[in-house]
Structure 1
Amino acid sequence: MSTESEIAELREEIATARQQTADLAEVLEAHKRRTGLQLRDLENERDRLKAQVAQLEEMAMSLRKKLRAS
């Protein structure tokens, strides 16, 4: 194989590798966006549940006070 054909083959491999890298970068960005949204959804659910627990704790304290008073 001549040097010129080797160079041409290497250039083709480089171009293919660059395209694959670009494709993978797109996939990674899409995955980051998806997981970022999932994380925000989970954080929102956690915050909602924390608020619900706080509300239930307040109700429990109120009921305990009523029981003590009676």
Structure 2
Amino acid sequence: MNEKLRTAIRKEIERLTRFPEGYLPDWVVRHKESLINRAVEILEENNADKNNPQNIYRAAWLAIDENF
């Protein structure tokens, strides 16, 4: 799996879930790998362009929404 893609997804998940005080919720820390894996699956299922930041944002958001 492309580490650059996984890093981009991880950063997007953290950006979407980080509290204003600067820390991540416990559930994000515990389930971060499964969220990343699900976001990659979403991109692959939809044959989405993995270099498009908007697609990465959508996949990260859907992974969060589906799981929690």
Give TM-score scaled by structure 2 length.
0.27
Larger radius of gyration: 1
TM value normalised by structure 1: 0.27
Higher helix share: 1
The structure with higher relative contact order (CA 8 Å, sep 6+) is 2
